[in-house]
């Protein structure tokens, strides 16, 4: 599946990926959402921070985004992100939500919906 994502979305996602600490764990949606809820509770109820690592985006998705970012071809303000399955784009969307990149999650979802099967 090839999807066209806005270049700004690709750059924000890759910036967030590069800012994650090394101990970040592989992304699993349910666990990531639970961590965010725990972190919200900790931030509002206690000065101590949670020690659980933030979710890490799978390497195949990061690689596809990096290739798209580095590609010189610009398509309607976006870049083709290819060689990923439908499930990979769903994982990317859910990771964006878990990382509080709501507008980027919406952009990924819209791009997947608009992409030909």
Tens of pLDDT, residue by residue over 54-95, are 788 999 999 999 999 999 988 888 899 988 999 999 999 999
Distance CA 84, CA 106 (A): 18
Interior/surface letters 67-106, b for 16+ CB within 10 angstroms, e for the rest: ebeeeeeeeeebbbbeebeeebbebbbbbbbbbebeebbe
Over 90: is that where the pLDDT of 109 sits? yes
DSSP code, position 46: -
**Residue 9 banded pLDDT, cuts 50, 70, 90:** very high
For 24-43, how does the pLDDT look when each residue is reduced to its tens digit (9 = 90+)?
Answer: 555 555 555 555 555 554 44
Q: What total number of domains does the chain contain?
A: 1
Number of separate helices (H) and strands (E) present in the chain: 5, 4
Closest CA to 29 of 81, 90, 70, 79: 90
pTM, full prediction: 0.73
Domain range holding 45? Answer: 3-114
């Amino acid at each position: 599946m090839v999807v066209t994502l806005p270049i700004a979305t690709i750059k924000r996602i890759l910036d967030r990926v590069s800012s994650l600490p090394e101990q970040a764990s592989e992304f699993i949606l349910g666990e990531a959402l639970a961590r965010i809820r725990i972190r919200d509770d900790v931030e509002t109820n206690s000065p101590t921070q949670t020690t659980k690592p933030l979710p890490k985006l799978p390497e195949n998705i990061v690689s596809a985004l990096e290739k798209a970012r580095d590609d010189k071809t610009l398509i309607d303000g976006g870049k083709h992100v290819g060689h990923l399955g439908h499930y990979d784009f769903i994982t990317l969307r859910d990771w964006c939500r878990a990382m509080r990149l709501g507008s980027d999650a919406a952009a990924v979802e819209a791009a997947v919906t608009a992409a030909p099967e």
